[in-house]
Amino acid sequence: MKNCKNLKSVKVGLLLCVLFFVCSVAWGQGFTAKRTDYGVGYLEYLPPNYNPSKQYPVIIFLHGSGERGDGSPASLEKIKKNGIPKLIKNGADICVNVNGREQCFIVLCPQTNRWGYDREIMPFTRFAAESYPIDPNRIYVTGVSMGGKGSWQAGYNDEDDDNIFAAIAPVSADGDPNKVYKVAEREIPTWVFHGSRDNSIPLRTAEYMVSQLMDADPNPEPLMTIYDGGTHGGSTWDKAYNLGHTYQNPNIYEWFLSHSLSGNGFEDPDDGGEDVVEVIVDDKSASFTSGWVNSTSGAEAKYKTTYRHDNNTNKGSQSATFSTSLEPGVYEVYGWWWEHSNRSSKTPFVISHAEGTSTVIQNQRRSGSRWTLLGTYTFGTSGRVVIGNANTDGYVVADAIKFKKIGDADPGDGETGNAVIVDNSDNGFSRSGSWSLSRQGGDSKYADSYFHDNNSGKGNKTATFSASLAAGSYDVYGWWWNFDNRATNAPFTIRHANGVSTVTKNQRTEGAKWVRLGTYNFNGASTVTLSNANTNGYVVADAIKFVPTGSVGDGDVVDNSPNQEVIDNQSGKFSRSGSWSWSDAGDSKYGNNYFHDGNGNKGQTKAEFKTRLSGTYQVYGWWFAFENRATNVPFDIIHAGGKSTIYKNQSINGGKWVSLGTYQFNGDAQVVIRNNHTNGYVVADAVKFVKVSSNNSRIASDEPALEVASELESTDKSSLYPNPANDILHVKVKTDLNDFTVQLMDISGRVYLDKAFSKSAGESEEVTIDLHAYSNVPKGINLVRVLSEEGAETLKFIYK
């Protein structure tokens, strides 16, 4: 995507002006009526805990023709009837949780009295960029009806400057099909929403816009969602802008955030940086016993828009529970409340953690309107805080709880149990090159001493910790004294049963504790080697710990039922070839880690998951989705009928089991992940086989998805008609080979037809597909794939 180069950063004088007028706004509380310096009225929404010194993504929402007006406060009220403004009016905050971090938008809604936005959208966007702390790489436009057309107009505006929009989302809209090619030229991600029963702007109008856009060879390709039975109103618009995942996953807000003019929607989790994991549970996500009172009082004093209080009654019988799933580790736990003189001075917070429960008493008459520390605790895969009102002496407030990860769980500093520790003074420690012994650091070092490389001789020094281990799976930890002159990129290389993995650690910010290096399988001898190659500071070699995980020796995670088998990337049934990199980044991986191909060596890297099965099984894949992932990852399923290839978009739908189809197995069952012709990072994490009662193979999954498959090795020999199609689809196949296969699939890769054909070499063959025969094929964009030994072609069509 082309970078935005013409939006200037905010000038100091203007910033002071912005700071002046926003201080009176109840941020995160709803809309404020505003006017631009050139007279256009608009609604302004600022997110909770708004900070003018921070950059935010912005959504510019464009209203429909029925909400036109003069921009006065009374006229602006009309905008609140539909779409995102309706959500904000009803108390929602436009925030989503992405990879454990809350991401919030500024929302701006200009009002026009014209019948379109062709003259409005560019001046208003420039005004917004100059007047608000907006990230110029994350400007998004969406709207309904006339406003949806305005979204298209933003994409194909007549200005010749660089594109300034990160993505557009027209809803229930028409547009100019003769100009839509500009959206493709500017590489603007586009998601179109429409209702099948829209009588104001017929569905075929939106379909034609999408087909014209696809003819312009867009990259990325557009998404189109058609709501069955949806009309020109709330039955479509409420679904398109839903903040949850009831109607689409990812939702529109998460999809917006996955696109940026910089090319990175989020920080890359595989770049070795230190991720801060924060999980916030607001009162809207908590559970309450009866008797609590919901309140919106308190302006900025509360967290977000609401909180609950016990009404200072029924003491001892009311409780509020804040629960969440967590990545195992050590967390600081915080509470938020609106302080007041009528509050309880002895409110009990009961924290349930890995070691039991702890009760912390807080005075809610003070220390409020901010995050107040409740202590530091070790958690497994879940955390819970219960606020009670027993023996309290005033109003008890339950508003929000935050879990902030500060480190990995310590398996025990002094007690080794079944763990094996190799210290720098043990026989299992050896070194090459010139290392300096130090006894500094007090309790920050392990035992009595450690070695450091004296920040010299880079690339010529190694320290190796060797241990003899019983075969099995182990968590591996390192210990060092952290200090500000340490290397931020100290490489630990672990040799294990499945190969060699290198983990880079920051010895400035972690340390004085056991820091996890990952989970590995060992078959006896094991080594961890620390090198100083290419490091940027002092490298410390102190101690390594191996802790048995108690899992099956070959690493398999197997359900107690005989009808399911999971193979993780640490399993003995997993193998790989080519150049793979190990990573434990992210909170949506399966198990403790995964492999990725580093977005390199395309066509030379593959990962295999292989087992023995008999019967019909539905096959699933699991990966950590991220914006830099490939959208066209090939999964080869080897089954009784041969080999089927399914392509998956690993930039979305991660952190869960995604169906790869249903197959018959008569012995060997194998899933192979390749990186041939892929357009981003390829992840190999885990696969699952679940036995089904039916013997019908190639059953489509019910998993919803919104990916559009990329064209793969297109030879442009085949074609199809008509497009759009509503009953019969004709596919004209021309290949130099006699044998080929035609697949009909939706945009998630679910296959409904998979049929082999034969013809005379060099001749054309027309395949007729009766779309009515496949009742589960969704309306909207679908795919036909023609496969032969020459390669694969992907043809797109719209199913009406």
- % of the chain at pLDDT higher than 90: 34
- % of the chain at pLDDT higher than 70: 84
- CATH H superfamily, domain 278-407: Galactose-binding domain-like (2.60.120.260)
State residue 788's pLDDT score.
Answer: 64
How would CATH label the architecture of 12-257? 3-Layer(aba) Sandwich (3.40)
Residue 343 pLDDT exceeds 90: yes
pTM over 0.85: no
Residue 361 pLDDT exceeds 60: yes
d(CA 236, CA 171): 8
Span 491-505, average pLDDT? 84
Residue 508 pLDDT exceeds 80: yes
Residue 483 pLDDT exceeds 60: yes
Between 523 and 6, where is the model more confident? 523
Residue 267 pLDDT exceeds 60: no
CA 366 from chain centre, in angstroms, equals 37
State residue 409's pLDDT score.
Answer: 61
Residue 21 pLDDT exceeds 60: no
Residue 147 in tokens? 């406003």
State residue 472's pLDDT score.
Answer: 81
29-38, 162-171, 298-307, 544-553: least confidently modelled range:
544-553
State residue 753's pLDDT score.
Answer: 79
pLDDT band at 631 (very low <50, low <70, confident <90, very high): confident
- In the block, which residue shows the tokens 């088998």? 565
Residue 634 in tokens? 């090939």
Between 202 and 21, where is the model more confident? 202
CATH number of this structure's domain 420-548: 2.60.120.260
pLDDT band at 709 (very low <50, low <70, confident <90, very high): very low
Class for the domain spanning 719-799: mainly beta
Give the CA distances from residue 799 to residues 92, 770, 778, in Å, rounded to whole numbers and listed in that order.
Answer: 35, 12, 7
Q: Are 787 and 731 in contact (CB under 8 A)?
A: no
Q: Are 332 and 373 in contact (CB under 8 A)?
A: yes
Residue 642 pLDDT exceeds 70: yes
115-119, 201-205, 316-320, 469-473: least confidently modelled range:
469-473
Span 554-578, average pLDDT? 64
H/E stretch holding 88 reads: helix 83-89
Residue 668 pLDDT exceeds 90: no
d(CA 745, CA 646): 10
d(CA 34, CA 262): 30
Residue 213 pLDDT exceeds 80: yes
Q: What strands, in cross-sheet order, belong to the sheet with 319-325?
A: 287-288, 319-325, 382-388, 347-353, 356-362
State the fold for domain 564-691.
Answer: Jelly Rolls (2.60.120)
State residue 99's pLDDT score.
Answer: 62
148 HSE (CA, 13 A, CB side)? 26
Give the CA distances from residue 612 to residues 447, 617, 750, in Å, rounded to whole numbers and listed in that order.
Answer: 48, 12, 24
pLDDT digits (tens, 9 = 90+) for 135-157: 889 999 999 999 999 999 999 98
Span 313-318, average pLDDT? 93
Span 65-88, average pLDDT? 94
Measured from the Cβ of residue 373, the count of other Cβ atoms closer than 10 Å reads: 14
H/E stretch holding 84 reads: helix 83-89
Span 118-122, average pLDDT? 89
Backbone angles phi, psi at 481, to 5 degrees: -85, 115
643-657, 725-739, 754-768: least confidently modelled range:
754-768
Residue type, 193: F
Cis peptide bond N-terminal to 222, omega within 30: no
Q: Are 574 and 567 in contact (CB under 8 A)?
A: yes
Measured from the Cβ of residue 446, the count of other Cβ atoms closer than 10 Å reads: 25
User: Which regions of the chain carry the CATH code 2.60.40.3080?
Assistant: 719-799
pLDDT band at 24 (very low <50, low <70, confident <90, very high): very low
Span 414-435, average pLDDT? 78
41-55, 246-260, 361-375, 520-534: least confidently modelled range:
361-375
Cα angle 794-798-800, degrees, rounded to a multiple of 5: 150
Alpha helices, DSSP H only, in 108-192? Answer: 121-131, 146-155, 181-185
User: Which regions of the chain carry the CATH code 2.60.120.260?
Assistant: 278-407, 420-548, 564-691
Measured from the Cβ of residue 199, the count of other Cβ atoms closer than 10 Å reads: 9
Cα angle 661-663-668, degrees, rounded to a multiple of 5: 125
Residue 385 pLDDT exceeds 90: yes
Output DSSP code: residue 189: -
Between 45 and 23, where is the model more confident? 45
pLDDT digits (tens, 9 = 90+) for 27-64: 345 899 999 988 999 999 999 888 877 889 999 999 99
Residue type, 493: T
Q: In the predicted model, what is the mean pLDDT of the chain?
A: 81
